[in-house]
């Protein structure tokens, strides 16, 4: 099935439309079945994926607007493959764990549409197509936050929408400029990424474009100081919204850096390692501190996301295979771990309708399974070896160490400060005496929640112990990417810093 | 000193300014419409003068059509004025400020 | 002779129009306007644009002013109007600057010397015969459109001033409580 | 052979998972038994390996599977059992087995019995990974793994609430657990950096390859790596200034203290230095630094133990002090000596802790030695074991401690680092004093426990039997010194004393023994007849208070790091994130809206205004053109 | 008197055929009413539709680049496109007259007649490069438009018409003066010969000043019609006072007509690279977009918000005039072509919910709160309205995204990066007020007495128009390419 990517995109779309005709009482099962089918399709994609091939696979290209070089151009490589699977998985688990009673139908349909946008973003090879999905993903998320969110939901939803929208508009100008340059150089209009990869840009143009794209991606990631929409969005979003936001939507930004900024503007990327690394380090340390100061459990996780994204950004800008592979792996790991953590917060929120840690304490006694899974996820979050969290973090930091040891040490404090805020959450919520009488009768996880969480626990450990099936395709594609960057690099500095791996060198 | 084109044009400019001042100053809509006629007439003078000066008829034609336009405007404008006069009993435009912001 | 006539006419026109623009009395304003229009037609005659002068006299001073006079009667506006005129400063500033701009535009190139007939346009500005010819050849279309415009204006005048406009079908103002309104709406 | 490696490694994992199955169930005795047996199997496998390697002299290497492969990085789960590893494995599994068996007794009435065994076995597994791994990153897995298990076990009684420092110096188990974890993480960062340095300079993290290519590196780089790795070691082995967690870690159940915080985990740092001996022998200056730190910690910790009244804390400080000894030896290049002391210390210190556990049980978890006394009558065996262990700790012939500690002093003397020698010598005296202060306070004198209403009783027989292997080893281990040396120096550099030292050995030994005995005698005089408290001294003596309050270091950390961090975090959130960053964003939005609100005022509904704006528009456009002409 | 002889074929009367069709249509309606009054409005609606349909047909049958009737009529690509947009917009508007409730304006047969006269006037604006004919056409259309607005016959409609009319009269004065200034130095009122003279004498400073000055006056007049700030002041009030479909209509058709004029006139300036005029247009456009967006933010009424929004859209498009590239000019038509459906659709949505009672607000008929919780009451209209809003905000894949992208791309291509970024960021401001409506519709709870209010004026023809608009808005990606190449070909063929 060579058009599996189209199927992946359009299946949830059609299923979402059909969802309108499904009876309200049966919609949950419908949602689960559709999401599961989609997940299985994505697994099939993985199964039929040739892991030795570093290039784009399952490529589909249909010209949409030939006049302007816009086409329906899809493809997947090791870098995007697993983020696609992550998207389908998190959607499935999000639907499984849904605890919303009100307007469930709308929620499930919205989630399916969101899934379309997410997958679309990661498999688009045409930049305009990418942009369409990128922007469109905001809409369902806006609805999810705005319709099912907390008391300040409207503020949060609109802030989320406008902030990210503003950033991506600047990116759009960048995209158009790049297309113009492509047109000016080759005489034809094209928005396919693979065509653009062949473009050698002067460094000053690269600089302008780099920052234009940067703004779009940085707000999405979100990088300091563009991060303030995130705590609101997470704080107000319903559980499933937070799960998907943290697990997938944030990855769009970091994916953008890998897919666009690095290969298109290698010289500029190298030239701006320093400022970006500084921002990343601020993200890591500063937001970790902010996370530590939070009183709301969900806000802690929200800020921790920013902190972790800092590591991802740092890894991306390591300009070597180790760092970039690591950062991509860390995207997956953060997706799974923070997704799970948000689900866990959702569990307690469903029971107590509060997320304030001061309301809890001693929960481990009444909800031991819950506490166990929370601790597993905490440990993954703080990057314990043999959990999924370690590998990405380790590789990212290791990669960046080549660029700057000092900054890596600063960034490495993430393993300390991360432990500080996560353990303090665990201590405040789960340990200590069961002081609040309201907590005494709490029920442990029910089967629905277990079905959603246990697979994540399994993945956390499986990929922590044996990441190879995932890391290998990522690594292959990253090697090709770095090689491309090295080939394209014009400045000596970039040539020096972009580090092609040895076996790739030998292969050459 | 012979009267050249410039004289007519300056006169036209002055009359235009007078008309403009009237338009800006007037609160009574009927009198405001008078002032718009002055503005159009100022343009007419300019067109006629230029037309004569360069010996081209288009200017005069333009002036001719401006006159026609002015006449039509008066008709429509008066219709509107009647309408609001019936509703408000006054032609003061200060009364017409329900819509703002 | 021409000089004297020009200055006389200019001063008179300007003065009359100033009256139109600033008088408190509508009647005065209208009369001044009418007089100014007549004088402008005089200017046209001086320039040799006889046809235009005639049209000005007939259409403007005749038809337009008659319409205004009619309107004025309808509005019963013979008395002094009380206007809360805007601060004169702003008005003079804006119109003054506009005048300066216009003068600058017209005077800057010493147009008197520069303007030449560059395009082989229709010659014979002083000949009503030629004007007629031009009007029914070159400007046939605008002429027809202008006819339509006048038709439009006529229909517009009729429609707007008709009795049918007295009662609106589009809007009903009631101060009833919302429920009655809702019921009304549901019908 | 490979199977044995896997058995030794995975038996604890199986054990842990087995226990985990029942973690939420009430006590199942079977869990305790099965886990003990599985750890025992691991012990058997380890010992078999030890003997095998002893015979063959060849290391056993296995590779389980790939782990991380990215770019040029290729890290596998590889395990090597060589001489050092075999010793460590045997020590770890032996102590673990004993502690598992003993825990059946100690935790018998705890409702989280099963969970405890799960954690304990998981710890053993992590420790085995730590010692068996053939690369630095594998070591790091174990390193972090034991950290987590330690966190879980210290915080085992998580439901206890936070107290003030006056009531409980460790605040609460969960607090102590977090402290331990975070402090270790600080050090782990150093270790990680060391690994990065190794990777980027040598392209591998496998011990054999790394050590084979050390000569490619500049001296500066070696020093850097050495320091970075040692920082890692400092955390795990609780060296100054990262030492405070160890004493607080005593909040965990006592078997945990015996296993983790005395015998095994805390010695991981020493193990790392020993393991990296090819590196450290090339950078003697770093080695010297390590030795100095170790020596300082030795006397520093011993001094705190002098006055402490908490039974377990005294032993904890003593552990700290002994770790200092080990580092001193390792730092000075006498790696086998350090390893020897490590093993010997594991035996007698575990014994001591388990004995303390018996006492605690008898005293209903009371830890204040001032409230004990005269327990000799009821708890003869425990007294015997603890006395034995204390003697070993004090370095009295012929017990294990004598051989190991004496050798360290000889090394210090041999290296002409007389300052270190003297300090360690002095510490030996202090060690003897506080060890026997403890013994006498607990077992001799008047029976002060009546005040707290305790009814002391001896531990169950099987628990006492379980302690026997440790006791036996504490006695006889010293006599195997020669064999040990021969065995491990196949891998580690042999450390030879100079001629001069050889001549001095007898004198040194005498001097050391003398000061140890002096310590014991002083303790005997002061405490064997019962407790005579000098309250005035306790309250007013500055030195006493300084020592009693651990040099005020925990308070200092609280004030200098924890609190400012908390406050800074609050500022970062409330003041910076909310007031600056977010406020800027909202401010922009607000400014836009305000501009809109202001500009809509121009739209005031009055036609005259509109007309004026239009006229002004002409002027505005003219201005733009004029300005653009002028600018151009 | 010698008779004047000319060959009838040289008149090229066919060029006037589309206008003649509308004229005939208007006159037929007028006559029918005279002969037999009190016929139902459906008759007039269908007649008007037929007329427009034939006019479109006549339009499409014209070949480009021909002149007719003594060169006063110019049929080039731009004029064809302009006329097509005018006719298409009108066709989309007319069915909106068939509402469930009876409204004053549509009860007049004269309404439809005047409407066609207005279209007739606008057609001449698009199809001529003679300033006189443009002016006459403009006034014909405008006068009819003022009347149509007033015929809605509400307090606010009268006020709207008066305001629009008065400002229009003043703008006419400016147009005349601007034309006079240009005429003074070029001696012509036909743009092509103006261009020729300017080209010849472009180095004379004495030539440039009147030409630029004339352009400034023209900017005022054109800016008034396409509602650039600060000549826009009538726009929000007039849109608010006019009926919703009329407001939607005004936001497109007269502007398209005026845009064509602007392209013709300013195209000359751009061709000669007169930077100051370029600068003036760009600055005005940027100010317009930004300020209008900011003012739209603070509106309480959806219709008024849409009024401000169309001001900002006009400013956005206006930039394209100053670029002097085929792509720029093409993007204007593309943008308006897409904007036509989306915006008219949005206004039609307001129209469907229009009722005669002032139950929501003593002034506003469409306050935001009226739409609160619409998703619960009327899910499909709510979704469609949301689609329109998202399209207006430029969220892909809805139609206006492509328009926005093309305009931005044209701006970027010509090197105005700052302008492009400002315009792009403006969309971020704009998205707020569009979202506000979506938020009300989807995320708030409905008021108690809402009932069927959102359906008040529902009728099949309205639904049809909205359906078409929604369909066009949603499926844009499939027709953008042919549409774009059609437009580019026509614009390119006109020499722009």
Residue pLDDT, tens place only, B45-89: 999 888 888 888 888 889 989 999 998 998 899 899 888 888 888
Residue B42 scores a pLDDT above 60:
yes
pLDDT of residue E402: 92
Instruction: Give the Cα separation of D580 and D564 in Å (integer).
Output: 20
pLDDT of residue A264: 93
For helices D284-307 and D418-443, what crossing angle results, to 10°? 30
Question: Is residue C126 in a domain?
Answer: no
**Which residues in chain E touch residue B78, judged by CB atoms under 8 angstroms apart?**
none
Cβ D420 vs Cβ D412: under 8 Å: yes
Mean pLDDT of the E213-228 span = 92
Cβ E179 vs Cβ E138: under 8 Å: no
Give me the residues paired with residue D135 across strands.
D206
Nearest to E288 by CA among B100, A177, D628, D613: D613
pLDDT of residue A315: 93
Question: Is residue C186 in a domain?
Answer: yes
Q: Do chains D and E touch (3 or more CB pairs under 8 A)?
A: yes
Number of domains chain C contains? 1
Q: Break chain A into its structural domains and give their ranges.
A: 272-508
Question: Is residue E1 in a domain?
Answer: no
Locate tokens 């309404």: which residue? E111
pLDDT of residue D48: 92
Q: Break chain B into its structural domains and give their ranges.
A: 7-96
The reply to whether B27 touches chain D by the CB within 8 Å rule is: yes
User: Bigger pLDDT: C105 or E448?
Assistant: C105
Taking an 8 Å cut-off on Cβ atoms, the answer to whether C98 and D619 are in contact is: yes
Query: Which residue of B9, B62, B101 is in closest CB contact with E189?
Result: B62
We find that the CATH architecture of domain B7-96 is Orthogonal Bundle (1.10)
pLDDT of residue A398: 92
pLDDT of residue C172: 65
Chains in contact with E, where contact means 3 or more Cβ–Cβ distances below 8 Å, are A, B, C, D
Instruction: Give the Cα separation of A87 and A80 in Å (integer).
Output: 11
Question: Is residue C154 in a domain?
Answer: yes
Confidence of residue C79 (pLDDT cuts 50, 70, 90): low
Question: Is residue E4 in a domain?
Answer: no
Confidence of residue C176 (pLDDT cuts 50, 70, 90): very low
Taking an 8 Å cut-off on Cβ atoms, the answer to whether E212 and D599 are in contact is: no
Phi-psi label, residue E5: left if phi above 0, alpha if psi -120 to 50, beta otherwise: beta
Backbone angles phi, psi at A325, to 5 degrees: -55, -45
Question: Is residue C27 in a domain?
Answer: no
Mean pLDDT of the E409-420 span = 91
Cβ A250 vs Cβ A160: under 8 Å: no
**Which residues in chain E touch residue A226, judged by CB atoms under 8 angstroms apart?**
none
Q: Which range is least confidently modeled, A199-208, D503-512, D528-537?
A: D528-537
Percent of chain E at pLDDT exceeding 70: 97
For residue C71, count other CB atoms closer than 10 A to its CB.
22
Chains in contact with B, where contact means 3 or more Cβ–Cβ distances below 8 Å, are C, D, E
Confidence of residue D56 (pLDDT cuts 50, 70, 90): confident
pTM: 0.92
Confidence of residue C113 (pLDDT cuts 50, 70, 90): low
ipTM of the assembly?
A: 0.90
Nearest C-alpha in A relative to E387: A139
**Which residues in chain C touch residue E102, judged by CB atoms under 8 angstroms apart?**
169
- What range defines the domain where residue C156 resides? 139-187
Instruction: Give the Cα separation of D587 and D589 in Å (integer).
Output: 5
Residue D319 scores a pLDDT above 70:
yes
Instruction: Give the Cα separation of D210 and D194 in Å (integer).
Output: 12
pLDDT of residue A220: 92
Taking an 8 Å cut-off on Cβ atoms, the answer to whether C161 and B83 are in contact is: yes
Measured in whole angstroms, the distance separating CA B3 from the mean position of its chain's CA atoms is 25
pLDDT digits (tens, 9 = 90+) for E253-273: 999 999 999 999 999 898 888
Kindly list the averaged pLDDT for each block of 10 residues, start to end, along chain A of length 508: 88 93 90 95 92 88 89 92 94 90 89 94 93 92 90 91 91 92 91 91 92 93 90 91 92 93 93 94 92 92 92 92 93 94 92 88 88 93 91 92 92 92 91 86 88 93 92 91 91 88 64
- What range defines the domain where residue E241 resides? 10-493
* DSSP-based three-state secondary structure for A82: helix
The reply to whether A346 touches chain D by the CB within 8 Å rule is: no
Question: Is residue E5 in a domain?
Answer: no
The reply to whether E292 touches chain D by the CB within 8 Å rule is: no
pLDDT digits (tens, 9 = 90+) for D327-357: 999 998 889 999 999 999 999 999 999 999 9
Confidence of residue C78 (pLDDT cuts 50, 70, 90): low
Taking an 8 Å cut-off on Cβ atoms, the answer to whether E23 and C148 are in contact is: yes
Residue D153 scores a pLDDT above 70:
yes
Residues 6+ apart with CB under 8 A from A293: D566, D569, D570, D572, D573, D574
Question: Is residue C157 in a domain?
Answer: yes
Residues 6+ apart with CB under 8 A from A503: A479, D72
Instruction: Give the Cα separation of D59 and D50 in Å (integer).
Output: 10
Backbone angles phi, psi at E458, to 5 degrees: -65, 135
Q: State the nearest Cα–Cα gap between C164 and chain D, in angstroms.
A: 27
Mean pLDDT of the D551-560 span = 89
Q: State the nearest Cα–Cα gap between B32 and chain D, in angstroms.
A: 10
pLDDT of residue E307: 93
**Which residues in chain D touch residue E276, judged by CB atoms under 8 angstroms apart?**
624-625, 628-629
Question: For chain C, what is the largest distance between any 2 Cα atoms, rounded to a whole number of angstroms?
Answer: 80
Question: Is residue E3 in a domain?
Answer: no
Taking an 8 Å cut-off on Cβ atoms, the answer to whether C94 and D615 are in contact is: yes
Instruction: Give the Cα separation of A238 and A100 in Å (integer).
Output: 8
Q: How do beta strands A57-65 and A70-76 pair? A: antiparallel
pLDDT digits (tens, 9 = 90+) for D82-139: 889 999 999 999 999 999 999 998 888 888 899 999 999 999 999 999 999 999 999 9
pLDDT digits (tens, 9 = 90+) for E324-365: 888 999 999 999 999 999 999 999 998 888 877 766 777 888
Residue E289 scores a pLDDT above 90:
yes
pLDDT of residue E454: 62
Question: Is residue C114 in a domain?
Answer: no
Residues 6+ apart with CB under 8 A from E269: E211, E215, E277, E278
The reply to whether D577 touches chain A by the CB within 8 Å rule is: yes
**Which residues in chain E touch residue A135, judged by CB atoms under 8 angstroms apart?**
395-396, 401
């Amino acid at each position: 099935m060579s058009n599996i990517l189209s199927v992946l995109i359009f299946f949830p779309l059609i299923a979402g439309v059909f969802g309108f005709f499904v009876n309200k009482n049966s919609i949950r099962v419908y949602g689960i079945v559709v999401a599961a089918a989609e997940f299985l399709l994505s697994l099939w994609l993985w199964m039929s994926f040739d892991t030795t091939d570093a290039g784009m696979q399952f490529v589909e290209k249909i010209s949409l607007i030939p006049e302007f070089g816009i086409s329906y151009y899809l493809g997947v490589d090791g870098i995007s493959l697993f983020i696609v699977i992550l998207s389908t998985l998190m959607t499935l688990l999000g639907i499984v764990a849904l605890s919303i009673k009100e307007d469930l139908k709308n929620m499930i349909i919205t989630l399916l549409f969101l899934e379309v946008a997410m997958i679309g973003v990661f498999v688009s090879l045409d930049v305009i197509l990418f942009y369409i999905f990128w922007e469109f993903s905001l809409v369902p998320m806006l609805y999810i936050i705005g319709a099912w969110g907390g008391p300040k939901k409207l503020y949060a939803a609109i802030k989320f929408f406008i902030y990210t929208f503003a950033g991506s508009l600047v990116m759009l100008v960048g995209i158009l400029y790049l297309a113009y340059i492509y047109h000016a150089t080759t005489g034809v209009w094209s928005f396919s990424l693979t065509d653009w990869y062949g473009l050698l840009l002067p460094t000053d143009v690269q600089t302008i474009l780099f920052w234009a794209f940067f703004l779009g991606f940085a707000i999405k990631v979100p990088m300091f100081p563009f991060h303030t929409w995130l705590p609101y969005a997470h704080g107000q979003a319903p559980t499933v919204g937070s799960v998907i936001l943290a697990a997938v939507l944030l990855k769009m930004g970091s994916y953008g850096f890998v897919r666009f900024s690095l290969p298109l503007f290698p010289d500029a990327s190298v030239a701006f390692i320093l400022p970006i690394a500084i921002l990343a380090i601020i993200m890591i340390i500063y937001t970790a501190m902010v996370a530590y100061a939070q009183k709301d459990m969900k806000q802690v996780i929200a800020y921790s996301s920013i902190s972790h994204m800092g590591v991802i950004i740092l890894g991306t800008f390591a300009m070597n295979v180790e760092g970039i592979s690591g950062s991509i792996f860390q995207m997956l790991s953060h997706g799974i771990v923070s997704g799970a953590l948000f689900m866990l917060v959702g569990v307690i929120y469903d029971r107590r309708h509060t997320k304030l840690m001061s309301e809890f304490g001693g929960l481990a006694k009444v909800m031991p399974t819950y506490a166990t899974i929370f601790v597993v996820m905490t440990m993954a979050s703080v990057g314990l070896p043999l959990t999924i969290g370690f590998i990405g973090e380790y590789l990212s930091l290791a990669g960046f160490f080549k660029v700057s040891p000092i900054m890596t040490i600063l960034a490495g404090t993430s393993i300390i400060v991360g432990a500080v805020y996560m353990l303090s959450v665990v201590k405040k919520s789960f340990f200590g005496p069961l002081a609040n009488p309201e907590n005494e009768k709490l029920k442990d996880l029910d089967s629905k929640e277990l079905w959603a969480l246990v697979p994540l626990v399994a993945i956390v450990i499986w990929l922590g112990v044996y990441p190879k099936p995932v890391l290998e395709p990522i690594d292959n594609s990253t090697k090709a990417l770095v090689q491309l960057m090295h080939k394209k690099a014009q400045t000596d500095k970039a040539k020096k810093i972009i580090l092609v791996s040895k076996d790739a060198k030998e292969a050459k | 000193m012979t009267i050249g084109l410039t004289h007519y044009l300056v006169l036209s400019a002055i009359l235009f300014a007078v008309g403009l001042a009237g338009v800006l100053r007037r609160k009574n809509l009927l009198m405001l419409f008078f002032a718009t006629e002055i503005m159009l007439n100022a343009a007419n003078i300019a067109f006629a003068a230029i037309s004569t000066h360069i010996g081209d008829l288009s200017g005069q034609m333009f002036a001719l059509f401006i006159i026609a336009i002015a006449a039509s405007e008066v008709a429509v404008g008066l219709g509107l004025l009647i309408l609001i006069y019936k509703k408000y009993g006054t032609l003061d435009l200060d009364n017409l400020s329900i819509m703002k912001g | 002779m021409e000089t004297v006539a020009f200055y006389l006419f200019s001063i008179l026109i300007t003065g009359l129009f100033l009256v139109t623009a600033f008088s408190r009395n509508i009647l005065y304003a209208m009369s001044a306007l009418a007089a100014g229009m007549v004088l402008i037609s005089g200017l046209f005659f001086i320039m040799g644009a006889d046809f235009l002068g005639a049209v000005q006299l007939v259409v403007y001073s005749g038809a337009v002013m008659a319409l205004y006079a009619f309107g004025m009667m309808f509005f019963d506006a013979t008395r002094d109007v009380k206007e809360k005129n805007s601060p004169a400063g702003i008005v003079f500033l804006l119109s003054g600057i506009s005048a300066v701009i216009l003068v600058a535009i017209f005077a800057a190139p010493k147009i008197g010397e520069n303007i030449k007939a560059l395009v082989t346009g229709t010659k014979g500005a002083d000949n009503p015969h030629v004007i007629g010819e031009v009007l029914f050849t070159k400007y046939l279309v605008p002429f027809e459109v202008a006819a339509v415009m006048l038709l439009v204006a006529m229909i517009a005048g009729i429609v707007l001033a008709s009795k049918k406009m007295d009662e609106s079908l589009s809007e009903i103002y009631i101060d009833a409580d919302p429920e009655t309104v809702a019921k009304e709406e549901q019908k | 052979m490979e199977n044995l490696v896997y058995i030794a490694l995975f038996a604890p994992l199986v054990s842990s998972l087995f226990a985990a199955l029942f973690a939420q169930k009430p006590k199942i005795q079977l869990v305790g038994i099965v886990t003990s047996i599985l750890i025992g199997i691991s012990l058997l496998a380890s010992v078999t390996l030890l003997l095998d390697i002893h015979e063959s002299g060849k290391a056993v290497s296995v590779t389980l599977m790939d782990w991380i492969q990215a770019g040029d990085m290729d890290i596998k789960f590889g395990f090597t059992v060589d001489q050092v590893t075999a010793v460590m494995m045997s020590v770890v599994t032996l102590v673990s087995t004993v502690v598992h068996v003993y825990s059946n007794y100690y935790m018998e009435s705890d409702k989280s019995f099963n969970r405890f065994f799960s954690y304990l076995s998981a710890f053993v597994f992590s420790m085995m990974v730590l010692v068996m791994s053939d690369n630095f990153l594998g070591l790091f897995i174990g390193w972090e793994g034991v950290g987590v298990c330690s966190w879980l076990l210290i915080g085992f009684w998580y439901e206890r609430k936070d107290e003030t420092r006056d009531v409980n110096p460790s605040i609460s188990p969960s607090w102590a657990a977090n402290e331990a974890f975070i402090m270790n993480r600080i050090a782990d960062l150093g270790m990680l950096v060391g690994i990065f340095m190794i990777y980027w300079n040598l392209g591998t993290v496998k011990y054999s390859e790394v050590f084979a290519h050390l000569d490619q590196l500049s001296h500066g780089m070696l020093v850097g790596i050495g320091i970075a790795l040692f920082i890692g070691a400092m955390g795990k082995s609780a060296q100054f200034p990262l030492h405070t967690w160890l004493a607080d870690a005593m909040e965990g159940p006592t078997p945990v203290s015996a296993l983790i915080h005395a015998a095994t985990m805390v010695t991981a740092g020493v193990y790392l230095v020993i393991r990296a001996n090819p590196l450290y022998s090339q950078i003697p200056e770093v080695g010297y630094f390590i030795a100095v730190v170790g020596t300082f910690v030795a006397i520093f910790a011993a001094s705190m133990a002098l006055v402490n009244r908490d039974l377990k804390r005294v032993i904890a400080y003593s552990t700290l002090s002994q770790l200092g000894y080990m580092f001193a030896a390792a730092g000075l290049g006498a790696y086998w000596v350090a390893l020897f002391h490590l093993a010997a210390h594991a035996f007698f210190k575990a014994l001591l802790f388990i004995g303390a556990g018996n006492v605690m049980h008898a005293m209903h978890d009371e830890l204040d030695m001032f409230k004990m006394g005269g327990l000799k009558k009821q708890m003869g065996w425990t007294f015997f074991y603890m006395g034995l262990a204390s003697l070993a700790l004090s370095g009295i012939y012929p017990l294990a401690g004598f051989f190991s500690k004496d050798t360290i002093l000889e090394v210090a003397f041999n290296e002409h680092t007389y300052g270190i020698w003297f300090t360690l010598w002095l510490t030996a005296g202090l060690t003897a004093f506080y060890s026997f202060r403890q013994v006498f306070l607990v077992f001799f004198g008047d029976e002060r426990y009546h005040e707290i209403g305790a009814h002391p009783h001896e531990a169950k027989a099987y628990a006492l039997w379980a302690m026997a292997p440790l006791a036996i080893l504490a006695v006889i281990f010293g006599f195997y010194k020669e064999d040990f040396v021969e065995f491990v120096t196949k891998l580690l550099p042999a450390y030879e004393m100079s001629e001069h030292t050889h001549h001095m050995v007898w004198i040194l030994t005498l001097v050391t023994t003398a000061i140890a005995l002096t310590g014991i005698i002083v303790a005997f005089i002061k405490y064997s007849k019962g407790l005579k408290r000098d309250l005035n001294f306790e309250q007013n003596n500055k030195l006493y208070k300084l020592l009693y309050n651990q040099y005020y270091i925990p308070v200092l950390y609280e004030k200098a790091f924890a609190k400012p961090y908390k406050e800074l975090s609050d500022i970062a959130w409330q003041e910076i994130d909310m007031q600056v960053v977010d406020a800027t964003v909202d401010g922009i939005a607000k400014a836009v809206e305000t501009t809109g609100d202001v500009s809509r005022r121009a739209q005031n509904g009055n036609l005259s205004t509109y007309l004026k704006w239009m006229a002004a528009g002409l002027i505005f456009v003219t201005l733009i053109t004029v300005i653009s002409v002028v600018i151009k | 008197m010698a008779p004047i002889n000319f060959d009838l074929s040289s008149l090229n009367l066919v060029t006037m055929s589309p206008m003649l069709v509308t004229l005939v249509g208007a006159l037929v309606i007028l006559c029918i009413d005279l002969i037999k009054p009190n016929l139902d409005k459906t008759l007039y609606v269908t007649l008007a539709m037929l007329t427009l349909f034939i006019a479109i047909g006549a339009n499409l049958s014209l070949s480009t680049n021909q002149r007719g009737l003594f060169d006063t009529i110019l049929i080039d690509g731009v004029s064809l496109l302009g006329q097509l947009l005018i006719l298409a917009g009108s066709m989309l508007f007319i069915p909106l007259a068939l509402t469930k409730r009876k409204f004053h304006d549509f009860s007049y047969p004269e309404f439809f007649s005047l409407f066609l006269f207005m279209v007739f006037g606008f057609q001449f604006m698009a199809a001529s490069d003679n300033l006189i004919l443009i002016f006459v056409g403009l006034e014909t259309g405008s006068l009819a438009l003022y009347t149509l607005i007033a015929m809605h016959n509400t307090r606010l409609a009268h006020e709207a018409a008066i305001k629009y009319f008065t400002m229009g009269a003043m703008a006419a004065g400016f147009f005349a003066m601007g034309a006079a200034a240009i005429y003074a130095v070029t001696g012509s009122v036909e743009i092509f010969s103006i261009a020729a003279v300017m080209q010849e004498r472009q180095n004379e400073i004495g030539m440039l000043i009147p030409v630029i000055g004339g352009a400034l006056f023209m900017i005022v007049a054109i800016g008034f019609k396409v509602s650039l700030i600060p000549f826009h002041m009538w726009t929000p009030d007039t849109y608010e006072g006019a009926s919703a479909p009329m407001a939607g209509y005004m936001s497109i058709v007269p502007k398209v007509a005026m845009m064509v004029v602007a392209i013709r006139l300013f195209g000359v300036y751009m061709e000669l690279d007169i930077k100051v005029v370029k600068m003036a247009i760009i600055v005005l456009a940027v100010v317009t977009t930004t300020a209008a967006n900011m003012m739209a933010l603070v509106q309480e009424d959806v219709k008024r918000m849409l009024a401000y929004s169309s001001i900002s859209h006009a400013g956005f498009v206006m930039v394209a005039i100053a670029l002097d590239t085929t792509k720029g000019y093409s993007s204007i038509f593309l943008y308006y072509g897409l904007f036509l459906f989306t915006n008219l659709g949005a206004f039609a949505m307001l129209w469907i919910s229009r009722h005669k009672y002032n139950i929501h607000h003593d002034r506003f008929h469409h306050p935001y709160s009226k739409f609160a919780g619409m998703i619960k009451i009327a899910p499909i209209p709510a979704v469609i309205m949301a689609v329109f809003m998202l399209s207006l905000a430029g969220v892909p894949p809805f139609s206006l995204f492509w328009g926005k992208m093309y305009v931005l791309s044209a701006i970027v291509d010509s090197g105005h990066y700052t302008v492009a970024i400002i315009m792009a960021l403006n969309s971020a401001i704009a998205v707020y007020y569009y979202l506000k409506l979506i938020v009300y519709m989807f995320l708030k709870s409905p008021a108690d007495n809402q009932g069927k209010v959102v359906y008040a004026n529902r009728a099949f023809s309205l639904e049809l128009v909205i359906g078409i608009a929604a369909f066009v808005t949603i499926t844009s990606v499939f027709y953008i390419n042919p549409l774009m190449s059609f437009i580019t070909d026509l614009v390119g063929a006109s020499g722009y």
